[in-house]
Structures are given as C-alpha cells and as structure tokens.
Amino acid sequence: MDYRKKYLEFFASKGHAILPSASLIPENDPTTLFTGSGMQPMVPFLLGQKHALGTRLADAQKCFRSGDIEEVGDNRHTTFFEMLGNWSLGDYFKQEQISWMWEFLTSEIGLDPENLYFTCFRGNEELGIPRDTEAAGLWQKLFAEKSIDAQIVDFPERDGLQGGRIFYYSEKKNWWSRSGVPGNMPVGEPGGPDTEMFYDFGADRKLHENSDWAAEVCHVNCDCGRFVEIGNNVFMQYVKTEQGFEQLPQKNVDFGGGLERMAAAANNNPDVFTTDLFKQLRESIESLSGKTYGDRAEETFAFRVV
C-alpha cells in the first residue's frame, strides 16, 4: 500500500493544496546544511507571509538529519527520511486536525485504536499558559466513539503508563517554539502546545526485562522501542508579549509525521527497514554481500548502517 499517496489524497480531499517536496538543500535559509523537517521550508508562511496556494497545504518532504547518525543501527532511526506534513495558516485548528488525524490513522491506514497513545501539554502555571485540555478531550472523545475508555494521566515519566492512553507532559516534550521552552522565548515570538501520536508495538516485546532497561519505568516517550512516535501536531496558538502569553490573532497548525514509521506501524512491525521503502536496498545489499537481512544481529545492524 502506498501510504504517501494515501496521506496526500486524504488531505487533498480536505481542501489542501499538495506541494512538491522542497529541495533537500534549503533555499534562502543559511541556518542548516540540509532540510531537516517538513516545517522548515514553511516557516515564513507560519510567521505570516501569504502562501500563493492558500491556507491549507500538505506535502511529503525529503529530510536529512545528521544529528541522528549515531542512532542508526536500531529498528527506527535513519538519517534520510520523508516527513508527511499538513498546515493550516490561520484556517482550521485543533478540532479539525485531531479528528482528521484520527480518521487517517484508523480508517485510511488501518491502525488499531487499541495501539494508539497521545501526549498533550500540561501547562505552565507560572507563565499563565493553561494545560491543553482541549486536545486531550478531543482524543478522549474519539477513543470513546470506538468504545475505548481512554484515561488521561499526568506526569507519566515518573510512574509509567498507569492505565492511561492520553498523557500530559511538560513543556520539554509538548511545546513548540523556535527558541524551545516558553521561558526561553523572546517577546514577539510565536509558540504553542503540541500533541504527539504514538504507536504501541506491544508490551509482549518485554523490552524492559533486559539489563539496559530493567531499572527504567516504561512510558510512551521511553526510548526502549515499545512505543514509536509517528507524528506531532503543533498548534501555534500564543505569542509572548511584555505582559505574558496572549492568543495569536492567526492560529496555525503544523503537522509532521515520519512516512517510514507510519508504514512500520501499519505493518505492525517495529523495524522500519522491513518496509517496502527499503526493499530494493535490502535486496541489493543481500546480493552483494551474500548475507540475509535479519539473520544475525550484527549483520542486521550493518545492513541498517549501509
């Protein structure tokens, strides 16, 4: 199944103009050598510049992240990947984005809702930024429509899952701005909460029984590999002013999700290298090396690095 095509057709059906991937070498942007996210070429438009194709945009952006190079070799990290993205430039907001994402994940690519988990922003009382109860409530309602009683849980990083499906994390995990956490933002800078989407490859994988993870509590943001983040919905909702955080007059949505990881979730196989995207490369290395992908751990590692 072609998930890239499915995603773009789905958002075209919701009134989005489909853009080609921007160049992997950024244009008019000296800050990085390579495009590292779907959002990067969209920044001028998220900051208010009008886009010729309107206020609803979507694409599949080729990305390169050299920062992940040391992680390559496990089942989910690559340096080059494709990021599926959709944007609302002062058009729709949380209600539409969350219900469309749910529809795409559960109906279009057929993920079992039982395997889905979400995180939301827990708020910052000192700075007067409220907890994102709207996003959490929208996910909870969608679970309820599938007869799943989704509990909303606070501070999961200390205490594990606690039977929850929707979790409030701090600004370190669920806040977006160009300068990081709200306290670091200069006056005039936009930012907002985000809600991340995770796929559960199963507690039966027993990843915490090996020595590396035995002492750690498992939660959705845990790096053990049970949960994989498949996308992040950023809601550009606030602007920092001299008086504090105020609502932006033009609120934007910025979604980015890894195509390879979504395909792995749809296959219910946590190894992104087993997806069709890597089939030709896998087969070429097999014929050149005489080895078989997946036979031996150190060879599998080498295949992934190549």
Summarize as ranges the residues that interact with Zn ion (CB under 5 A).
218, 222, 224, 226
Q: Closer to Zn ion at the Cβ: 3 or 199?
A: 199
In the bound state with Zn ion, the residue whose beta carbon lies nearer, of 94 and 226, is: 226
Which tokens sit at 28? 């008019």
Provide the minimum distance between the beta carbon of 263 and Zn ion in the complex, in angstroms, as a whole number. 22
Task: Give the pairing type, strands 80-89 and 56-64.
Answer: antiparallel
Quote the tokens at residue 124. Answer: 């910052």
Pick the closer one to Zn ion by CB: 226 or 282.
226
Between CA 37 and CA 62 the distance in angstroms is 8
Distance CA 5, CA 249 (A): 33
- Distance in Å, CB of 117 to Zn ion, minimum: 12
The Cα–Cα gap between 257 and 261 comes to 8
- Contact criterion met (CB below 8 Å) for 171 and 121: yes
CB of 218 to Zn ion, least distance (A): 3
Q: How far is residue 101's CA from residue 197's CA, in Å, rounded to a whole number?
A: 9
Q: How far is the CB of 228 from Zn ion (least distance, A)?
A: 11
Q: Name the minimum Å distance from CB 41 to Zn ion.
A: 34
- Within 10 A of 205 (CB to CB), how many other CB atoms are there? 13
How many whole angstroms separate alpha carbon 254 and alpha carbon 206?
34
**Which CB, 172 or 279, lies closer to Zn ion?**
172
**For Zn ion, the closer CB: 96 or 157:** 157
- Which residue lies nearer to Zn ion by CB, 222 or 236? 222
For the CB of residue 207, give the shortest distance to Zn ion in the complex, in Å: 6
Instruction: Dump strand ranges (E) for 33-111.
Output: 56-64, 80-89
